[in-house]
């Protein structure tokens, strides 16, 4: 191929063993300094593209390829991995699979040392990489003791010490809290501004990359449905939604309020991709004053309140400590009540105590001090089986809950253990798998499913037990836009049809704003805020302590208060009912 960039794929089709077509007739060209974002629902082919560029295909995952692939000046298909690794560095979504040395210093030195790089050069590379990811001074720390964001930045630094010309990032922020995502995003932005690397990044978080991307590639079932500059790609809202991709709220707002500027005659629609919330608010205020936007003082949709009822779960001075060194107090005298029939969101940065709290609810952790009550009785008096029937917990990592040979057996296992009659089990299994959309995969080995589908299987196994309380620990992790709302809708269905109580831990504030009646914000093992969702999200200064940012609609509504917009708006649909463009005669 002539005139190729650092990455050049022409008419590439890849089929995994078993005739599973993952990519079809893909074309991609990236130059040095270019940041390419790859979007698509789970199963669209994003990770396969990363594997093709980095050499994981075919050296780890086999299959058949047609078309031409050049990475730098080599075809990864024809070279061993250690050669491709010097051209292309890969950062995966789970940093722990890439970290295995006892110190950060050793971690960063491992790659270049295996290539025979001189000691002085290794030291220089290590210091440079640590400075770029803002980890200088932490060289002696054990990677296992780091936060999620620090682990991902350490993994990124270990890739950079190999001095690749191409950096491939496969959903690097999907498992991180808001602070961790900001930390990794800042490091990526630094790399982009240096202009030395071609960067390919797959993600579901369109908001975070809107202002950084030079090129956007949208995949659907392995085929390219959109490709080009962000301003053009993100303006194609219908195609994005059809492909299961979340349209950035900033873009949706522009298209709704300024339709003439995004739909110019005989031209490709475009949107502004570098606007801040205050800048957009200023544009809206100007449009209001010149008469092109009208304000409708409509009431804001409110989530239905919970009728007064006895608490179903209650904590009394709950304190949890983990042995050290150093000794860590994960929860400090937490006292809270969850009423029967509530839908409660639990938010806060990683390490704030969210998962620890819900593990106490199901008896996986026992308190040093205090107690957990279920319907007024201490759970210390309940067996694990009794707790499992009444309180269902879907863990953040579904792989900790899956261990049988088929999806059907996975759901069947718990039903057998709690003594459900055998003539009822199969009907319950089919119903649970059908509910999460996995009935056709009933006989498949669970680890042949995608990570997102494995999470759905864990939900099916939990809901099949018909618990009174459903707890979902970060169900949005590694889920695409469509999958996130499918799981949230399952929780909503459980809440409304079965009158069940739902607790959901998540970092997705836009999602939780649509579903939760109440929010509990944890910070350093304590309750920072607790109240109705709308009231919590407008307490911006308090939320900053936990690095939680209110939903986009709330941020914008607060900027637009001078126009009479209520600051308690949480979803764009409510904002659009308050703000409408004025039709003009052409």
- Summarize pLDDT for 245-283 with one digit per residue, the tens: 999 999 999 999 998 776 665 567 789 988 899 999 999
Read off the tokens for 77. 């298909």
- pLDDT of 72 higher than 60: yes
Q: So what's the pLDDT on residue 96? A: 86
Say if residues 458 and 414 touch (Cβ distance below 8 Å). no
Give pLDDT tens digits for 141-197: 999 888 778 899 999 999 999 999 999 999 998 878 888 888 888 889 999 999 999
- The candidate with the shortest Cα–Cα distance to 325, out of 145, 200, 184, is 145
Whole domain around residue 564: which residue ranges? 252-302+554-581
| Count of domains observed in the chain | 3
One domain for residues 203 and 291: no
In a domain? residue 476:
yes
Are 163 and 136 contained in the same domain? yes
Per-residue pLDDT band for 383 (boundaries 50, 70, 90) equals confident
Q: Is residue 236 part of a domain?
A: no
Residue at a domain's end among 193, 228, 263: 228
- Domain-located, residue 469: yes
CATH of the domain at 101: 3.40.50.300
Share of the chain above pLDDT 70, in %: 95
Is 192 in the same domain as 281?
Answer: no
* pLDDT per position as a tens digit, 397-423: 888 899 999 999 999 998 998 888 988
- Is residue 59 domain-shared with residue 128, that is, in the same domain? yes
Whether 407 and 502 share a structural domain: yes
pLDDT of residue 478: 74
- Let me know if residue 102 belongs to a domain: yes
CB atoms under 10 Å from CB of 144, counted, come to: 10
Residues in the chain: 586
Q: Which of 493, 549, 546, 492 is nearest to 523 (CA)?
A: 546
Are the beta carbons of 122 and 113 closer than 8 angstroms?
Answer: yes
The string of pLDDT tens digits covering residues 506-534 is 999 999 999 999 999 999 999 999 999 99
Yes or no: say if 458 and 449 are a contact pair by the CB < 8 Å rule.
no
Q: Are residues 173 and 76 in the same domain?
A: yes
Instruction: Say whether both 316 and 293 belong to one domain.
Output: no
**Is 542 within a domain?**
no
- Cα gap 30→271, rounded to integer Å: 23
Q: Is residue 382 in a domain?
A: yes
**545 falls within a domain:** no
* Domain co-membership, 408 together with 512: yes
Residue whose structure tokens are 């805020």: 529
| Mean per-residue pLDDT over the chain, rounded | 91
Could you tell me if 120 and 180 lie in one domain?
yes
Same domain, 275 and 361: no
Greater model confidence, 572 or 145: 572
Same domain, 204 and 131: yes
Domain edge (last residue) among 228, 263, 294: 228
Judge if 440 and 574 occupy the same domain. Answer: no
In a domain, 546, yes or no: no
């Amino acid at each position: 191929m002539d005139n190729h960039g650092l990455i050049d794929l022409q008419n590439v089709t890849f089929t995994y063993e078993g005739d599973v077509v993952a990519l079809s007739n893909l074309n991609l060209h990236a130059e040095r300094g270019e940041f390419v974002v790859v979007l698509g629902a789970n199963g669209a082919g994003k990770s396969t593209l990363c594997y093709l560029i980095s050499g994981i295909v075919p050296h780890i995952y086999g299959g058949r390829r047609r078309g031409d692939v050049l990475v730098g000046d080599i075809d990864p298909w024809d070279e061993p991995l250690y050669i491709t690794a010097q051209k292309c560095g890969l950062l995966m979504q789970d940093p722990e699979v890439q970290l295995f040395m006892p110190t950060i210093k050793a971690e960063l030195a491992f790659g270049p040392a295996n290539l025979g790089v001189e000691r002085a050069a290794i030291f220089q590379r290590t210091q440079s990489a640590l400075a770029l990811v803002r980890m200088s001074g932490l060289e002696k720390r054990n990677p296992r003791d780091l936060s999620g964001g620090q682990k991902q930045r350490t993994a990124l630094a270990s890739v950079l010490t190999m001095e690749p010309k191409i950096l491939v990032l496969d959903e690097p922020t999907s498992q991180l809290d808001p602070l961790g995502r900001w930390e990794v995003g800042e490091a990526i932005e630094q790399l982009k501004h240096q202009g030395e690397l071609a960067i390919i990044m797959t993600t579901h978080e369109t908001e975070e990359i809107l202002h950084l991307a030079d090129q956007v590639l949208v995949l659907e079932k392995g085929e390219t449905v959109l490709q080009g500059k962000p301003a053009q790609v993100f303006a194609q809202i219908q195609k994005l939604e059809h492909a299961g991709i979340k349209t950035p709220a900033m873009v949706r707002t522009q298209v709704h309020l300024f339709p003439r500027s995004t739909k110019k005659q005989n031209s490709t629609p475009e949107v502004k991709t570098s606007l801040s919330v205050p800048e957009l608010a200023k544009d809206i205020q100007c449009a209001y004053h010149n008469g092109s936007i009208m304000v409708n003082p409509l009431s804001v949709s409110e989530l239905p309140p919970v009728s007064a009822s006895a608490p179903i779960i209650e904590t009394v001075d709950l304190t949890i400590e983990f042995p050290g060194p150093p000794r860590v107090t994960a929860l400090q005298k937490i006292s809270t009540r969850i009423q029967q029939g509530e839908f409660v969101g639990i938010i806060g940065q990683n390490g704030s105590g969210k998962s620890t709290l819900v593990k106490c609810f199901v008896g996986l952790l026992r308190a040093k001090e205090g107690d957990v009550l279920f319907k007024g009785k201490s759970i210390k008096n309940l067996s694990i089986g009794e707790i499992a029937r009444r309180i269902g917990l879907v863990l953040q990592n579904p792989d900790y809950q899956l261990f049988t040979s088929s999806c059907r057996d996975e759901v069947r296992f718990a039903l057998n253990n709690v003594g459900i009659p055998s003539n009822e089990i199969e009907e319950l299994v089919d119903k649970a798998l059908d509910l999460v959309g996995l009935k056709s995969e009933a006989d498949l080995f669970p680890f042949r499913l995608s990570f997102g589908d494995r999470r759905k299987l864990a939900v099916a196994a939990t809901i099949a037990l018909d618990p009174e309380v459903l707890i979902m620990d970060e169900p949005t992790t590694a889920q695409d836009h469509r999958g996130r709302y499918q799981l949230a809708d399952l929780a909503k269905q459980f809440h409304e049809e079965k009158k069940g109580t739902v607790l959901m831990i998540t970092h997705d504030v836009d999602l939780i704003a649509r579903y939760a009646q109440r929010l509990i914000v944890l910070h350093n093992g304590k309750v920072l805020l607790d109240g109705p969702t709308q009231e919590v999200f407008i307490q911006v200064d308090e939320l900053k302590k936990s690095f939680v940012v209110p939903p986009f609609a709330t941020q914008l509504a607060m900027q637009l208060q001078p126009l009479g917009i209520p600051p308690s708006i949480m979803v764009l649909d409510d904002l659009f009912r308050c703000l409408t463009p004025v039709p003009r005669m052409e």
